[in-house]
Amino acid sequence: MRSFCVICVTKFVQVISCNLPIQNNTQPVGMVWLAQYHENSDKAFIYDIQIYPDFQNQGFGTQALKLIATQAKALGFKSLGLHVFGHNKRAIHVYEKSSF
């Protein structure tokens, strides 16, 4: 199983190793864990994504999802998935806005 994380620094994504932060310039604003889905090797899966409270509602989640999707496609994945709890209205809004 391939496992990797994504660092988002303004307008680029760099795949490096697992559990690294989403950053704005050099300041961490969140974290994402992206890996090959265990049930389907053609699918990337967002196992965890967090935008820290001080940086929410500033577009970082939307930007991160766009960059993650671009990177997953570049790595050869055919689809991208995630899970969200039904009570997490803020996350649902961002995911729906990003076509999940």
Q: Does residue 33 contact residue 46 with C-beta atoms inside 8 Å? A: yes
- Cα-Cα-Cα-Cα dihedral of 63, 55, 19, 95, to 10°? -40
pLDDT 10s digits, 61-93: 888 888 888 888 888 889 999 989 999 898 899
Query: 3-state DSSP helix/strand/coil percent for the chain, to nearest 5?
Result: 25, 40, 35
Of the listed ranges 16-20, 35-39, 50-54, 92-96, the least confidently predicted one is 16-20
Question: How confident is the model at residue 79, as a pLDDT?
Answer: 92
Kindly report the pTM of this predicted structure. 0.72
